[in-house]
Amino acid sequence: MKIEYLATEKAPAAVGPYSQGIKAGQFVFTSGQLPLDPKTGQLVQDDIQTATRVALENVKAVLAASGATLEDVVKVTVFVKDMNDFGKINEVYAEFFANHKPARSLVEVARLPKDGVIEIEAVAAIA
């Protein structure tokens, strides 16, 4: 199986020894995307809805680097600092996944890299 390492300037660079994503055959795996503004490198964390939007835009950019779109996503995992933000996260999430509804897990974690408030990763299947 051919493996391609994904890299795009439209999403933040990896903050460690890993790639933004991997295309393996017909599957695309994004690394967890923090709400880092790819233009400024600044972490968005004062508003969970803005942070969710930025993280999802970063996921979308990594998918695009592989030729995939949000419509190709089959699984999303969301890590959050505070489960009380569940409803606000869902409001923004629904903007990105209105009619297409991939499987999803959303879990509260003790801490995220750079002390982020949310991190989102996705798996896509493309033809």
- H or E element that contains 35: none
Q: Write out pLDDT tens, residues 6-58.
A: 999 999 998 789 999 999 999 999 999 999 999 999 999 889 999 999 999 99
Q: pLDDT, tens digit, for every residue of 46-100?
A: 899 999 999 999 999 999 999 999 999 999 999 999 999 999 999 999 999 999 9
Q: What is the pLDDT of residue 21?
A: 98
Which domain range does residue 91 map to? 3-125
Cβ density class 62-96: b for 16+ within 10 Å, e for less:
bbebbebebebbeebbbbbbeeebeeebeebbeeb
Find the CATH number of the domain harbouring 94: 3.30.1330.40
Number of domains in the chain: 1
